[in-house]
Structure 1
Amino acid sequence: MICLLLFLLSCENIVWKKGVSLPYKIEKGQYQFNIYELEYPDSLEEKELFLKKLEDGLTKIIKSGKRLAILLSEEFIKDHIHIEKFGILPEESFLRREASQLSSEEKSALFKYSGEKAEKPQNLLNLQVKYLLTLLGRGEEFNRDKLYTELYKGKLVDDISRIRNRIVGIFKQSLIHLFVKIDSIYRKDSHKEYEYKKHYPVKEIKVVRSSKFDNSYNKYMDKAVLVVGGVEDMDIEKILASELRVPLKEYLILNDRFNGYASRGSLIYLVGGDEKIQESLDYDILFNVVKVDIDEIDQKESKYVLSDLYKTKKQIESEKQKFLESLKKIKAKSSENKKME
């Protein structure tokens, strides 16, 4: 018995629980998942260029029939949601606003990004048009002597919105799988103890909030799988021991200690460490996060994606075949249209 215990302790794999029911349908075996991390820029000009390159790169991926799992920042998903709702980046709000209604902050942004200053509403409107035409790659069309209208500017904003929303559409394609990196899911007040007291005629009731994790990140779950960073080792141990729970159904934890997967009310995938966690001997699952440059993204491919775990091999192949067939039809139709022109 002692020898068996020593063998288990020295074993590379750590199986936390046996006989746990897993929702996986994929064939039993070993699977390595590569997720490609892109660095999302901070400045408006860099974001605009990044989105253009991302659209081009992912379009090539889709046309080639490849699949790709990519990891982007929380800032990206916030911008993504804003684009889906308003058609532009939050920092581009000065383009949609009527020139005569621009706030001092919006004027400053317009002056900064257009490289010019103006005072009169017509001149401000012309600067907005100039910036929009430049964004659309039609900067040579701008005529500073022309009196542009809000109606014309609105059409340019609509053109930008259509372009921006193409990236939203791309992430709805079955071949592209989005992961979002959350630097920390701790509540801002997680290291303090807060009490809520309410007085009743008979006695005082005291309620102490127990969860230290912020549940507001659930709002991203319909857009992407969350990859969580900054979780303390002690808390990871508590999560694995079912003493602490992150309010997410499925997520990845970036850390320096563990790798593997576990089922603790949620499906948890651990990335980055050397200590192996394996929920079942039937499945050996490993995730790798690989940093890549935006200019190289069209050269990458993910052999497996997370959703594969919940499908049979037949379902995976069938879905891919259906997509390739629909892609052929789109290409054929596009070719016919060009011939007619």
Structure 2
Amino acid sequence: MKAEVTPSIQQPVKTSNNVFRYLRFLKFFFTNGKSATGFIIFLVFLLIAIFAPLIAPYSPSAAIYDPNLAPTAHHWFGTTNTGQDLFSQFIFSARNTMIVGFGAGILSTIIGLIFGVVAGYRGGITDAILTFITNLFLVLPGLALLIVIEAYVKASTPYVNGLIIAFTGWAWGARVFRSQAMTLAGRDFISAAKMSGKSSIRIMITEICPNMMSIIAGNIMFATLGAILAEAGLAFLGFEDINSTSWGTMLYWASSNSALLRGAWWWFIPPGVGIALVGLSLVLMNFAIDEITNPRLKGQKRRKKHGRQAARS
């Protein structure tokens, strides 16, 4: 009777503690200055991406306006040398860039999570094989590998580039997930889960991964940032369909038409600022996650607060 009653009492306590921990995390996340600023910037671009057809005044590919116009009331970011509205291109490019960035970031995180958690939890020959594959991708030069693959993919779209970036950029996250899974595999609650009859897959999904949520979230943000920069770089170098719409292709056409030399700042500054702001929002949110999950940062922040209070008194 005692063995039957104990699990039913302990489970609600564990669930309530998890809910309280997540609520406390959300409270700190939205009250922290860095994360709040990053979230607002990110939310603005997310809304732009979602409502792009409603926000953009013209078609991004319609070459029917006066060419090489500086910003005006009708064309906020001016026009290209072929008469396309740059503001409309910027808005639709935000949608494609956000989709590619987050799609590649989430996909690469999932691949790295599978390799890292399985290797760290299983150990032995499984760990050796998966670690060898991970290390193989780590030592390969990322940009060179992307360029070689792109050379064989003719006229790739931003979405194809996102898939290529995801399948070549998961190894760094896998190393982090592996080390964290190795530390969790020896904990008491994992031993209890094994004794209760849970399978290895269920333990990895329900016990190990939930305890790595902060690391997973941080990896998604940095993988997204890396994917956005990689896609923009590939498009700028011409390894993408030049007729596609993304911030990288905007920079490509600006460079091809010597916008910098002609002083057409309205052509290359908006996509550059867009990439920088999205990257800044992700970095700021990740800083807040580090402050929440890293005990050393918590201690430093607490000591600084006490030092300021002591100085005032």
TM-score between the two structures when normalised by the length of structure 2: 0.29
Bigger share in helix: 2
Bigger share in strand: 1
Q: Which has the higher contact order (CA 8 A, sep 6+)?
A: 1
Structure number, greater radius of gyration: 1
